[in-house]
A and B are shown apart, each in its own frame.
Chain A
Amino acid sequence: MKFARVGALALAALLALSACAQGAASPPADELGVITVPAGEPINIAYWGVLSGADSTLGVDSQRGVEIAIEDKGGSLLDHDIVLKTEDGLCTPEGGATAAQKLAADTTLVGLIGSACSDETQGGIQTLTDAGLTTISPSNTRPSFTDADRDATFAGYARTAHSDAFQGKAVAEFVYNEQGLRTAATIHDGSAYAEALQQVFADEFTALGGEIIVQEAVSKGQTDMNPVLTSVAAANPDALYFPIFIAEGGYIAAQAREVSGLEDALLIGSDGMFSPDFITAAGPAAEGMYLSSPNFSAFQDAYASFLEKHTTKYGESPLSAFHAHAYDAANILFAAIEEVAVQNEDGSLFIPKKALRDAIFATSDHQGLTGVLSCSPSGDCGAPLIAVYEVTARETGGEWPPEAPVWPTE
């Protein structure tokens, strides 16, 4: 008898205890799973992108944007520290695939910012989506990634960078409407970025009523541009659009004016060359050409203080063009985490992955550095504000970046 009563009491106590324990720590249901962040443990996020090699400035620049965002948050979110891990994607699909595998294997990761190069995302996105993670890219610009009819493997992908579909269109409008030119030629360098971008430009320019008279290409590492420029000049284009990178772009800019037929043509490039290194490479010949890029002047006033923080923390100006986008991406992630995280009494957190993903995609009217951002269902969170800047004597004299765009003029 006594035993039975003791036993019953013990059982009841046990049940009560377990009920309490469960009640305090029962994660919500979520089809992609729930991440548990125990009390005292940090919230782990990761930045993945190209951190070594020739393109490292792109990745490092964005990583710094994320780091400043973390600092501005005070280094913690919902009473948990924010810890940033990094993975190098090497700017190749295989590199992105391996980086994604490594990240997907880390079950404590809450969200990701990245990748830097579109190729990396192409290789790694399936793994990340399958693992239930969501990544926001600050600098991928490949149009197909946020197409309305994009593949299911991109379900976990969003970006704050503009799609090149906008950039190509903006350049086409600048050349056709603003400059009033009717014939154009393009040169790409065999990279997916350049080839896609010049094709968008070509399609839009033709749609506006212009004519693309020749589309040429160079190879990476090519130095003598005279033959390809001669080929282009023979068709006498009003404008030459070469959305490539610093090295080859520098050669073309330096040599273009020496080819008869191109002396007066409008030369225009894109954000791949939007860097003081390009000005050094091209030399004084760059004066008078145009470059398209995200519209820095349209960035909110907070951008100025961001720049100050950057210079203080890293001792130099930003290395590339997407640091502000990375800052915004990080903040969108933080806002989404704050929205969906379940805070438990013992200080732990539950973060349901599908809910997080949905919250990111549902972001609207987020006050970011790059503008007031809203995400579309296909992951397009960027403010597609592209501007065209002119390279004047001020820039070839060493001042960078250009102060104001020549188009659009507000």
Chain B
Amino acid sequence: MTVAEAFPAAGYEAPGYERQDWREVVRVGVMGGIVAVYLCLVGIVPVFDARPLISGVISLGEAALIGSLGVTGAVAARHAQTGPRNVVTAGAVAGLLAGIALSLLVIVGQLVNLRGFMLNASPQLYSLLTFGMGMAGAWIPVVAGALVGGFAGAFWLVPVRYRSPIVRGFLSILVLGLFAGLLRTPMLAAGLGQLARFLFAPEGLTVAGAVLTFVAVVGGRVVRQRLGVQGRLDALPEAQRRRLHVPFVALLLGIVVVLPLLLGPFFAQVIALVALYVLMGLGLNITLGLAGLLDLGFVAFFAVGAYTVGLLTSTAEFGLFDLPFWAAVPFAILFAMAFGAILGLPILGIRGDYLAIATLGFGEIIRILAGSDLLKGVLGGPRGIINIPKPIDVPSTNFLAGPVQIYYIAIVFAALIAFVAWRLRGSRLGRAWLAIREDEDVAEAIGINLIQTKLLAYMLGAAFAGLGGAVFAGLVGSIFPSSINLFVSINVAAIVIVGGMGSIPGVILGALFLIGIPELFREFSDYRFLFYGIALIAMMRFRPEGILPSRIVRRELHVAENAGPATVEADDPTPDRGTT
């Protein structure tokens, strides 16, 4: 046994001990620098700077910058050899390099006017990076980078069982800081004014609030660990653990039901929209998650449903029959399904990725036709159909007035669809879908009629999209062709994919993140799709099954990843060159 083996944490550098890989550290540092400069130039740092995280202390933009420097340091230090000196040095060096990149940005920016080239290379950015000192302060990012990187590196010296709670603590500050302003207003109205003012500033947390959050979360996790809660949970037999879920689920359901009444009509509007997307996500979940058909033209059926309701119920010019909402909904679903059949029949023979493009084409065709002059006489053209009455006609003082009723309606429908989806999954049809998704040739060989089965999946997805459109028309009270766009399809697809294909809780989570958050934080709407893009790439790389996938999908996607090149052909359902 060598001395190094005997005293592994002592940082003892024995001969033959692996040298610190400085090249790796430098590489991480440079990458970190590129990321930090990118964050500045793409506008995240300067724009988010307007939003305080901890009021008076640090803004969201500054937090992003420090976060990126910290992550750089942490990643570099992770690869370092053990020993406090090495770890901290690695982190500090990486952070230093990243800081140098930022300094270079400042220096170049002061010498050359980059503003004409890149919008965000502005004096505000430079002063942000140098605490207002401009060129004279160009050394600040370097030092800051080194310090932050070093601290982040030192993070690895913290005992393992405290690391996770600390990270959670910081994340909680981030999350609460974002929500602080939104929580403060209803709390003030509800008489919790003292508490609200203590914890939350008009935007962001107060210092006290931040400290309290951190302590509470870290303390909570540590206590949980000490008490060995996770171990005891794991030790329980499966059935008992399931039963423990029940009170949680019940509480969750209770919150879901009462939420809009607690939080007021603005929140109700947002979560009504979220519920709507959950509804559509569940529909796409059947088409995509169960049957594996990537439908990027979902918005076409959404449009059919919305316009059907509009045409049947509107009291204005283009309304045909002045029906009540509930009478129009079945028609909306029926027409959407019919369109699903019509559009689906010709294209369901097309393979995977081509199906995606073909459906995308359909979505665009429907969108253009909806707003076209050709159909202006029927569909209202660009001016759309207005005066669509709300589903439940109540006076405006009733608690059900406005978006609250849409919220409940959407929840009820979503629950219905979830139930249908759940039953279908366990049924023969559901298994047929899974078989098709795994391997079409084998599925056909065992007697599954591909066309019929795919068509059913497609039509069901269309039906639920139509339902979503119908509810949307009720929510907004009007339908314009501008509301029918590719982004609706992409949103729904992203919810299903990021949330977890084939899984209902996954779709709900996906909708909360991808729809709820951007709605709540309008300032970030410019960067919404940037985050989408990064999220999609990251998810596909690290967790392609989604955040909360169904077990089957997780098995499927992880097995394929872990397998080597030998299984490429095996996974490939169709031969590359048609030998048939």
Contacts and interface: CB of A to CB of B under 8 A. Distances in A.
A98 interface: yes
A151 to B, nearest CB: 7
B381 interface: yes
Contact of A102 (B266, B372, B387, B483): B266
B13 interface: no
B478 A122 contact: yes
Interface string A78-107: 000000000110101110011101101111
Interface in B237-276: 264-266, 268-270, 273
A51 B386 CA distance: 25
Interface in A106-124: 106-107, 119, 122-123
Given A119-B482, A123-B476, A101 B403 contact: yes
Interface residues of B, number: 36
A18 interface: no
B268 A196 contact: no
B266, B478, B525, most chain A CB atoms within 10 A: B266
Interface stretch (A187-195, A251-259, A354-362): A187-195
Contact of A101 (B269, B368, B382): B269
A93 B478 contact: yes
Given A92-B483, A93-B480, A122-B478, A191 B526 contact: no
B387 A52 contact: no
A121 B372 CA distance: 23
Contacts of A119: 480, 482
Contact of A52 (B382, B386, B475, B525): B525
A407 B10 CA distance: 87
B383 interface: yes
A147 interface: no
Interface in A42-63: 51-53
Given A130-B401, A195-B381, A217-B373, A92 B482 contact: yes
Interface of B is mostly: helix
A196 B383 contact: yes
Contact of A94 (B402, B481, B483, B525): B483
B172 interface: no
Contacts of B269: 97-98, 101-102
A105 B402 CA distance: 12
A264 to B, nearest CB: 27
A219 interface: yes
Contacts of A215: 373
B270 A53 contact: no
B384 A97 contact: no
Contacts of A236: none
Interface in B477-498: 477-478, 480-483
Contacts of B561: none
Contacts of A99: 522
B522 A190 contact: no
Interface string A261-281: 000000000000000000000
Contacts of A192: 382-384, 480, 482
Contacts of B382: 188, 190-192, 194-196
B5 interface: no
Q: How many of chain A's residues touch chain B, expressed as a range? A: 35 or more
B383 A105 contact: no
A321 to B, nearest CB: 21
A88 B522 contact: yes
B393 interface: no
Nearest to B525: A52
Contacts of B403: 97, 101
B371 interface: yes
B81 interface: no
Contact of B383 (A92, A97, A195): A195
Contacts of B386: 122
A228 B481 CA distance: 21
A190 B526 contact: no
A331 interface: no
Given A105-B265, A119-B480, A126-B477, A52 B402 contact: no
Given A122-B478, A126-B477, A101 B266 contact: yes
Nearest to A132: B396
Interface string A183-208: 00000101110111000000000000
21 contacts: A51-B522, A87-B522, A88-B522, A93-B480, A98-B270, A98-B519, A99-B522, A101-B268, A104-B266, A122-B386, A122-B478, A123-B477, A127-B402, A190-B372, A192-B383, A192-B384, A192-B480, A195-B381, A195-B382, A196-B383, A217-B372
Given A52-B526, A97-B269, A194-B382, 16 more contacts: A93-B483, A94-B273, A94-B483, A98-B270, A98-B273, A101-B266, A101-B269, A104-B265, A119-B480, A122-B386, A122-B480, A123-B477, A130-B402, A192-B482, A195-B381, A196-B383
6 closest A-B pairs by beta carbon, nearest first, are A101-B269, A102-B266, A88-B522, A130-B396, A195-B382, A101-B266
Interface of A: 51-53, 87-88, 90, 92-94, 97-99, 101-102, 104-107, 119, 122-123, 126-127, 130, 151, 188, 190-192, 194-196, 215, 217, 219
